[in-house]
């Protein structure tokens, strides 16, 4: 992956042109000249200078410098970013498709951006393989497979194929045709092997992209894991043609050994897209993601440098640090500093403070704020963006009344959103992106920009979105009021524009 920092001169020239001239939007509306930093409630350090990599993603993924790998956006978080409790039930039901990142990807795609979510990372903290397939129906897992419970990696939801088990398929079926796929695996303590195909079609080439020591080798369609200590391995497969079809993994030799599939991804290298990687895992914290000194288990480094290799990383860890058992503030700061540096090595880090946990059952509002203050300070020191989801709904009581927290056995969940709540978070980030989108080039998706007074009163379609440049506040569900300097995304509900 070529970092945006290596495109410096070209991007600076691009930003200079856009900042001086502005861009023409659909309908003849002209976007305002790009300021250094936009003013958004609930966000700081947000603007072209702080969002260079994200701006590049939105501008044109066909630019020569990124065409070979496209633009990758990784979301590293816990259950509140994984889509837990999205669907009401007793207990509530988890849904990766309802997570805020997947809903954000859908909003970008609906606006014309080339976007794909054809990847998966772990089964979060689902309790069984069947629950995993409910959580992510793109996965079809045969008999014999089980969820990994290996200490140190188990919380990341890899799917294990045990030793001496009759081979069956694990199949991931994305939404788009592809000609390249990555499989991220963890080897067992004894050798095993498996083969890979695309709906029965063997790959034309394969290579080991990254590995801890010699955790695996690959020859054609067959991967062989090494015996010995546990380690990770990323293998890439390429087909000569582009086609749809399930990405199959099937064991070929596992008399004594076993292996664990942690993640898969698919892409068409001839048509690069913005690739979303939701790597959020329920129950995880900065401690479980960043484990210095534990060889083979530093999941953040493995995910960041190898599987996703993102240009933009949204880091939403914190809820399981401030809730019991708490992570010491100094430890949290140290972990987040290290993860920020890791993300910056491939592009840009954006910290997000997660939604408020119910202070009556979990950490106090003051305690939660202490953890948020740490990431806000780290972002400010690096002149990078920081987003506060807690601003969006004011507090847990208000969010519950709005239906933004999951309905768990008839009551509002204490820390997880509903599908509607996750949608509202996606809208917040989409709204933050709107000025970048509008000014980022002819191939980018474009939202029209208006002052509040000039919002169109007729000819609108339900669900249509625009953004305003002079709102006084972005209060979810309310109508915009002009006279301020805040950018907000507005949605037409059939009778009026609302935040």
| Domain ranges across the chain | 4-114+272-447, 139-267
How many helices, marked H, and strands, marked E, lie in the chain? Answer: 13, 26
Helix, strand or coil, per DSSP, at residue 263: strand
pLDDT value at residue 14: 31
Q: From the CA atom positions of the chain, what is the Rg in Å?
A: 22
Q: What is the pLDDT along the chain (499 residues), one digit of tens a residue?
A: 333 333 233 333 333 323 332 332 233 333 344 455 667 778 998 877 788 788 777 765 444 444 435 688 999 999 999 999 999 999 999 999 999 999 999 888 877 778 899 999 888 778 889 999 999 999 999 988 888 654 344 447 788 888 777 878 999 999 999 999 999 888 877 888 999 999 999 999 999 988 877 788 999 999 998 877 677 788 999 999 999 999 999 988 777 788 889 899 999 998 888 899 998 888 888 988 876 554 444 566 655 556 778 889 999 999 999 997 799 999 999 999 988 988 888 889 999 999 999 999 999 999 999 999 999 999 999 999 999 999 888 899 999 998 999 999 999 999 999 999 999 999 899 888 877 766 553 333 445 677 888 888 877 766 677 777 778 877 777 889 988 767 677 887 778 888 7
Predicted pLDDT at 486: 72
Q: Which residue has the tokens 């801890």?
A: 212
The SS3 of residue 318 is coil
Would you state the pLDDT for residue 89? 94
Domain 139-267: assigned CATH number: 2.60.120
Q: What six digits make up the tokens of 382?
A: 């690096």
Rounded CA separation 185/264 (Å): 9
Residues 75 and 316 sit within 8 Å (Cβ to Cβ): yes
Q: How far is CA 315 from CA 318, 347, 404, 420, 448, in A?
A: 9, 13, 21, 21, 29
Q: What angle do CA 238, 242, 244 make, to 5 degrees?
A: 105
Q: Report the 10 Å Cβ neighbour count for 152.
A: 13
Under 8 Å between Cβ of 85 and 92: yes
Q: Give residue 333's pLDDT.
A: 96
The token pair that represents 439 in the structure block: 């000014």
Terminal-to-terminal C-alpha distance of the chain = 36
The CATH class, in words, for 4-114+272-447 is alpha beta
Residue-level pLDDT at 327: 94
Q: State how far the Cα of 10 lies from the Cα of 16, in Å rounded to an integer.
A: 10
Concatenate the DSSP letters of all residues of 42-75 into one string.
Answer: TEESBSTTT-HHHHHHHH-TTSGGGTTT-EEEEE
**pLDDT score, position 491:** 81
Residues 6 or more apart whose CB falls under 8 angstroms from that of 187 comprise 215, 216, 225, 226, 230, 231, 232, 233, 257, 259, 260
Nearest to 450 by CA among 102, 10, 30, 95: 30
CA separation, residue 150 to residues 146, 295, 299, 445 (Å): 12, 14, 14, 43
Beta strands in 316-446 (DSSP E): 348-353, 386-388, 405-408, 411-417
């Amino acid at each position: 992956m070529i970092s945006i920092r290596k495109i410096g001169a070209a991007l600076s020239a691009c930003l200079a042109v856009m900042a001086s001239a502005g861009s023409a939007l659909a309908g003849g509306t002209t976007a305002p000249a790009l300021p250094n930093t936009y003013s958004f409630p609930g966000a700081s350090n947000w603007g072209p200078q702080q969002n260079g990599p994200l701006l590049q993603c939105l501008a044109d993924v066909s630019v020569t410098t990124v065409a070979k790998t496209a633009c990758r956006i990784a979301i590293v978080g816990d259950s509140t970013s994984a889509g837990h409790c999205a669907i009401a039930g007793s207990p509530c039901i988890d849904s990766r498709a309802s997570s805020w990142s997947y809903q954000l990807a859908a909003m970008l795609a609906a606006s014309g951006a080339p976007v794909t979510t054809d990847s998966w990372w772990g089964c979060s903290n689902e309790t069984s393989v069947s629950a995993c397939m409910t959580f992510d129906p793109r996965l079809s897992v045969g008999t014999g497979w089980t969820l990994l419970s290996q200490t140190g990696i188990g919380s990341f939801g890899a799917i294990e194929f045990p030793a001496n088990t009759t081979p069956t398929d694990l199949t991931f079926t994305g939404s788009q045709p592809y000609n390249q796929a990555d499989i991220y695996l963890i080897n067992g303590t004894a050798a095993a092997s498996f083969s890979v195909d695309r709906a029965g079609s063997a790959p034309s080439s394969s290579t080991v992209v990254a590995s801890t020591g010699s955790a695996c080798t690959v020859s054609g369609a067959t991967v062989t894991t090494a015996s010995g200590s546990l380690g990770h391995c990323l293998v890439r497969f390429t087909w000569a043609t582009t086609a749809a079809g399930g990405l199959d993994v099937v064991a070929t030799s596992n008399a004594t050994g076993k292996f664990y599939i942690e993640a898969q991804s698919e892409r068409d290298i001839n048509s690069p897209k913005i690739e979303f990687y939701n790597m959020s895992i329920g129950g995880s914290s900065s401690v479980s993601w960043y484990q210095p000194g534990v060889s083979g288990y530093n999941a953040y480094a493995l995910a960041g440098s190898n599987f996703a290799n993102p240009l933009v990383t949204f880091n939403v860890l914190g809820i399981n640090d401030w809730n019991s058992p708490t992570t010491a503030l100094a430890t949290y700061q140290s972990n987040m500093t290290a993860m920020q540096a890791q993300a910056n090595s491939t592009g840009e880090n954006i910290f997000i403070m997660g939604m408020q946990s119910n202070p009556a059952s979990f950490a106090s509002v003051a305690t939660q704020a202490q953890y948020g203050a740490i990431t806000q300070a780290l972002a400010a020191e690096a002149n990078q963006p920081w987003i506060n989801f807690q601003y969006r709904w004011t507090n847990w009581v208000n969010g519950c009344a709005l239906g933004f927290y999951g309905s768990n056995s008839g009551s509002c969940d204490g820390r997880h959103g509903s599908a509607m709540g996750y949608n509202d978070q996606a809208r917040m980030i989409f709204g933050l992106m709107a000025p970048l989108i509008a000014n980022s080039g002819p191939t980018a998706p474009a939202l029209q920009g208006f002052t509040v007074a000039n919002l169109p009163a007729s000819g609108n379609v339900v669900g249509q979105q625009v953004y305003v440049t002079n709102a006084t506040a972005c209060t979810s569900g309310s109508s915009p009021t002009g006279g301020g300097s805040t950018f907000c995304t507005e949605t037409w509900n059939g009778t009026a524009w609302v935040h």
